[in-house]
């Protein structure tokens, strides 16, 4: 049976049962004519495994199909967040122009809002820059890119993301302080808010960059396989979110207590509500 199959496939068999390459054109044409056919042999131990594999018989490449689907998925996600960040960038820029243009809107609360808007704007810009540097060439594998330029872009990107989270934290901290303290020196507090909002991310990202340069200087620093180093950035962010949640619960408790107080009524009650 084996000799018969080899003859059909275009191989020549000598008297000793050994094979050597014969007419390759006959082999290729026969393989093409049998495309889609799958066979199995009846042996003493039962039916053999089907051959050829159905991937080969059908001309189907599973890896290629999965790769195409994955590429389409990532391109769709990239297009979606690009539209979202672009819309956010235009809206926030308009808001910043309005807040800067009208002097009547200048107060500590709006200054904090403006810094938060700037952090969102920088975050959107950093995403566009990161995509432009890492994915400029669609056929290139960005995992093996290792240049000073792309590493600097990733440092800037992480700084913008951290600043965004910390100014969200400042928003909650400001509101909580406003409710707790009777005499509130806003200008002095705003000075410290600025240091926390922009200074803390600067320190954390600088430490992360130095540690990454010495202990995990691989690729473009866009992959964070070293969990210990990644916590230098992720830890403060998670901490700010947890503290902000506690402040949120505290704000709700204070407002409910003020609304239930018998001394509160009229316009003051509506303000707290």
pLDDT in tens, 149-206: 889 999 999 999 999 999 999 999 999 988 887 676 777 788 889 999 999 999 999 9
Q: Is the peptide bond before 52 cis (omega within 30 degrees of 0)?
A: yes
Structural domain contains residue 111? yes
- Shared domain for 44 and 69, answered yes or no, is no
Q: What sign does the dihedral 115-118-123-126 (CA atoms) show?
A: negative
Mean residue pLDDT across the chain: 79
Distances (CA, A) of 133 to 62, 123, 150, 159, 247: 31, 15, 6, 17, 39
For residue 20, being part of any structural domain is answered with: no
**One domain, residues 56 and 186:** no
Check whether residue 175 and residue 150 sit in a common domain: yes
* Other Cβ atoms closer than 10 A to 185: 10
Residues paired with 43 in a beta bridge: 46
> Is pLDDT above 50 for 19?
no
Q: Tokens 């199959």, residue?
A: 5
HSE at residue 215, side-chain half, CA atoms within 13 A, is 13
**Do 160 and 217 fall within a single domain?**
yes
Mean pLDDT of all residues in 17-45: 55
> What pLDDT does residue 94 have?
95
Three-class secondary structure assignment of the chain: CHHHHHHHCCCEECCCCCEECCCHHHHHHHHHHCCCCCECCEECCEECCCECCHHHHHCCCHHHHHHHHHHHHHHHHHHHHHHHHHHHHHHHHHHHHHHHHCHHHCCHHHHHHHHHHHHHHHHHHHHHHHHHHHCCCCCCCHHHCCCHHHHHHHHHHHHHHHHHHHHHHHHHHHHHHHHHCCCCCHHHHHHHHHHHHHHHHHHHHHHHHHHHHHHCCCCCCCCCCCHHHHHHHHHHHHHHHHHHHHHHHHHHHHHHHHHHCCCCCCHHHHHHC
Contact present, 123 and 92 (Cβ < 8 Å): no
Q: Where a domain ends, among 43, 62, 81?
A: 62
How many folded domains does the chain comprise?
A: 2
Sign of the C-alpha dihedral computed for residues 51, 54, 55 and 56 taken in this order: positive
For the segment 90-121, what is each residue's pLDDT rounded down to a tens digit? 999 999 999 999 888 888 889 999 999 999 99
Residue with tokens 């509506």: 270
175/120 same-domain check: yes
Contact 99, 154 (CB under 8 A): no
pLDDT at 232 over 80: yes
**Tens digits of per-residue pLDDT, 257-270?**
878 877 766 666 67
Q: Are residues 199 and 119 in the same domain?
A: yes
Q: Both 174 and 214 in a single domain?
A: yes
Quote the domain boundaries for residue 49.
Answer: 33-62
In a domain, 172, yes or no: yes
Residue 61 banded pLDDT, cuts 50, 70, 90: low
């Amino acid at each position: 049976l084996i000799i018969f199959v080899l003859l059909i496939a275009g191989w020549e068999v000598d008297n000793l049962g050994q094979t050597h390459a014969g007419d390759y054109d006959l082999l290729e044409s026969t393989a093409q004519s049998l495309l889609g056919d799958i066979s199995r042999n009846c042996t003493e131990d039962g039916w053999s495994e089907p051959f050829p594999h159905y991937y080969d018989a059908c001309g189907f490449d599973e890896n290629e199909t999965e790769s195409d689907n994955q590429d389409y998925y990532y391109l769709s996600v990239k297009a979606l967040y690009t539209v979202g960040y672009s819309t956010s960038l235009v809206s926030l820029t308009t808001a910043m122009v309005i807040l800067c243009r009208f002097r009547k809107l200048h107060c500590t609360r709006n200054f904090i809002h403006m810094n938060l808007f700037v952090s969102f704007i920088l975050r959107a810009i950093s995403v566009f820059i990161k995509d432009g540097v890492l994915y400029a060439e669609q056929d290139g594998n960005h995992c093996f890119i290792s240049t000073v330029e792309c590493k600097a872009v990733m440092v800037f990107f992480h700084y913008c993301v951290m600043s965004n989270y910390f100014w969200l934290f400042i928003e909650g901290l400001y509101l909580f302080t406003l409710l707790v303290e009777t005499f509130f020196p806003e200008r002095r507090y705003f000075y410290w808010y600025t240091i926390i909002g922009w200074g803390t991310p600067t320190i954390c990202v600088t430490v992360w960059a130095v540690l990454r340069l010495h202990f995990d200087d691989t690729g473009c620093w866009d992959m964070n396989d070293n969990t210990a180093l990644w916590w230098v950035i992720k830890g403060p962010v998670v901490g700010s979110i947890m503290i902000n949640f506690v402040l949120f619960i505290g704000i709700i408790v204070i407002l409910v207590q003020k609304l239930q107080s018998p001394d509160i009524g009229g316009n003051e009650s509506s303000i707290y509500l």
